[in-house]
Amino acid sequence: MKYLLKYLGKYKLESFFAPFFKLLEACFDLIVPIVVKSIIDVGIANGDNAYVVKSCILLVALGVVGLVCAVTAQYFAARAAVGSVTGIRHELFSHLQRLSYTETDSIGTSSMITRMTSDINQVQTGINMTLRLFLRSPIIVFGAMIMAFTINARSALTFTVLVPVLAIIVFGIILAGIPLYRKVQSKLDRVTAITRENLSGTRVIRAFNKEDDEIREFDEANKEHTSVQNFTGKITALMNPLTYVCVNLGIVALIYVAAPDIDNGSMTQGELVAMYNYMSQILVELVKLANTIFTVTKAVACGNRIQAVLDTPAGMEIKRNAEKTGADCGINCPAVEFKNVSLKYRSAGAQTLSGIDFSVKPGMTVGIIGGTGAGKTSLVNMIPRFYDATQGEVRVFGKNVNGYELKELRKLIGIVPQKAVLFKGTIRSNLKWGKEDATDEEMWKALEIAQARDFVEQKDGKLDAEVKQNGRNFSGGQRQRLCIARALVSRAPILIFDDSSSALDYATDARLRRALASLDYSPTVFIISQRTSSISHADMIIVLEDGEFVGKGSHEELLESCPVYKEIYDSQFMGATR
Partner 1 sequence: MFLNKKKRKPVSKKMELPSGVTYGQTVAKVLKYLNRYRWLFFFSLLLAVAVVALTLYLPILIGDAIDLAVGKGKVDFDGILSILVEIAVIAAVTGILQWVMNVCNNKIAFGIVRKLRQDAFEKIQTLPLSYIDNHPVGDTVSRVITDVDQFSDGLIMGFSQFFTSLLTIVGTIGFMLSINPTITAVVVLVTPLSLFVAAYIAKKTFNLFKEQSEIRACQTSYIDEMIGNHKVVAAFSQEENAINTFDEINVKLEKCSLKALFYSSLTNPCTRFVNNLVYAGVAFAGALICIASGQTALTVGALSSLLNYANQYTKPFNEISGVVTELQNALACVSRLFELIDAESQIPDSEDAHELSWDEVDGKVAIDNVSFSYTKDKELIKDFNLSIEKGQRVAIVGPTGCGKTTVINLLMRFYDVDSGKITVSGYDIKNLTRASLRKSYGMVLQDTWLKTGTVRDNIAMGKPDATDDEIIAAAKQAHAHSFIRRLPEGYGTRIGEDGGQLSQGQKQLLCIARVILCLPPMLILDEATSSIDTRTEMKIQNAFATMMKGRTSFIVAHRLSTIKEADIILVMKDGKIIEKGNHEELISRQGFYCDLWNSQFQTVEDNKQE
Q: By CB under 8 A, what part of segment 510-529 binds partner 1?
A: 510, 513-514
Distances, alpha carbon 25 to alpha carbons 74, 283, 296, 307, in Å: 11, 18, 22, 34
Among 424, 464, 466, 560, binds partner 1 (CB under 8 A): 424
Give residues with Cβ within 8 angstroms of 435, minimum separation 6. Answer: 442, 489, 490, 491
CB of 341 to partner 1, least distance (A): 20
Classify strands 425-426 and 391-396 as parallel, antiparallel or unpaired. unpaired
Classify strands 413-416 and 425-426 as parallel, antiparallel or unpaired. unpaired
Which residues is 353 bridged to in the sheet?
343
Nearest alpha carbon to residue 414 among 433, 434, 429? 434
User: Would you give the binding string for partner 1 spanning residues 439-468, x where CB under 8 A is met?
Assistant: ------------------------------
Quick one: 436 or 520, whose CB is closer to partner 1?
Answer: 436
Among 183, 339, 344, 411, binds partner 1 (CB under 8 A): 411
Length of the chain: 578
- The interface with partner 1 within residues 41-70 (CB under 8 A) comprises 43-44, 47-49, 52-53, 55-56, 59-60, 62-64, 66-67, 70
Q: Is 426 in the site for partner 1 (CB under 8 A)?
A: no
**Residue 359, φ and ψ in degrees, nearest 5:** -140, 135
Q: Is 16 in the site for partner 1 (CB under 8 A)?
A: no
Q: Where are the beta strands (DSSP E) in 81-184?
A: none
Q: Of the ranges 157-165, 299-307, 459-467, 532-540, which one interacts with partner 1 (CB under 8 A)?
A: 532-540
Among 6, 24, 102, 214, binds partner 1 (CB under 8 A): 214
**Residue 574, φ and ψ in degrees, nearest 5:** -60, 130
Among 317, 331, 349, 460, binds partner 1 (CB under 8 A): 349
Nearest alpha carbon to residue 546 among 408, 354, 382, 298? 354
Quick one: 331 or 507, whose CB is closer to partner 1?
Answer: 507
Which string of DSSP letters, residue by residue, matches 170-222?
A: HHHHHHHHHHHHHHHHHHHHHHHHHHHHHHHTHHHHHHTT-HHHHHHHHHHHH
Q: Of the ranges 35-43, 292-300, 388-396, 437-445, which one interacts with partner 1 (CB under 8 A)?
A: 35-43
Quick one: 287 or 329, whose CB is closer to partner 1?
Answer: 287
Among 200, 332, 340, 439, binds partner 1 (CB under 8 A): 200
- The interface with partner 1 within residues 159-188 (CB under 8 A) comprises 188
Contact status, residue 544 vs residue 370, Cβ threshold 8 Å: yes
Size of the site for partner 1 (CB under 8 A): 168
Give residues with Cβ within 8 angstroms of 165, minimum separation 6. Answer: 246
Among 1, 167, 193, 308, binds partner 1 (CB under 8 A): 193
- Report how far residue 386's alpha carbon sits from residue 486's, in angstroms, rounded to the nearest whole number: 19
Quick one: 153 or 350, whose CB is closer to partner 1?
Answer: 350
Q: Of the ranges 72-80, 175-183, 328-336, 393-401, which one interacts with partner 1 (CB under 8 A)?
A: 72-80
User: Would you give the binding string for partner 1 spanning residues 76-115, x where CB under 8 A is met?
Assistant: -xxx-xxx--x--xx--xx-xxxxxx--x----x--xx--
Classify strands 413-416 and 353-360 as parallel, antiparallel or unpaired. unpaired
CB of 326 to partner 1, least distance (A): 25
Give the other-Cβ count within 10 Å of 244's Cβ. 13
Q: Is 10 in the site for partner 1 (CB under 8 A)?
A: no
Q: Is 142 in the site for partner 1 (CB under 8 A)?
A: no
Residue type, 28: F
Q: Of the ranges 7-15, 305-313, 323-331, 563-571, which one interacts with partner 1 (CB under 8 A)?
A: 563-571
Q: Is 571 in the site for partner 1 (CB under 8 A)?
A: yes
Which string of DSSP letters, residue by residue, matches 398-438?
A: TEEGGGS-HHHHHHTEEEE-SS----SEEHHHHHTTT-TT-
Q: Is 551 in the site for partner 1 (CB under 8 A)?
A: no
Q: Is 39 in the site for partner 1 (CB under 8 A)?
A: yes
Q: Is 323 in the site for partner 1 (CB under 8 A)?
A: no
Contact status, residue 485 vs residue 414, Cβ threshold 8 Å: no
Which residues is 526 bridged to in the sheet?
366, 496
Q: Is 218 in the site for partner 1 (CB under 8 A)?
A: yes
Quick one: 229 or 325, whose CB is closer to partner 1?
Answer: 229
- Report how far residue 316's alpha carbon sits from residue 405's, in angstroms, rounded to the nearest whole number: 10
- The interface with partner 1 within residues 371-390 (CB under 8 A) comprises 371-374, 384, 386
Among 203, 331, 458, 521, binds partner 1 (CB under 8 A): 203
Distances, alpha carbon 415 to alpha carbons 420, 489, 492, 500, 553, in Å: 11, 11, 9, 10, 23
User: Would you give the binding string for partner 1 spanning residues 483-502, x where CB under 8 A is met?
Assistant: ---x----------------
Among 2, 153, 263, 328, binds partner 1 (CB under 8 A): 263
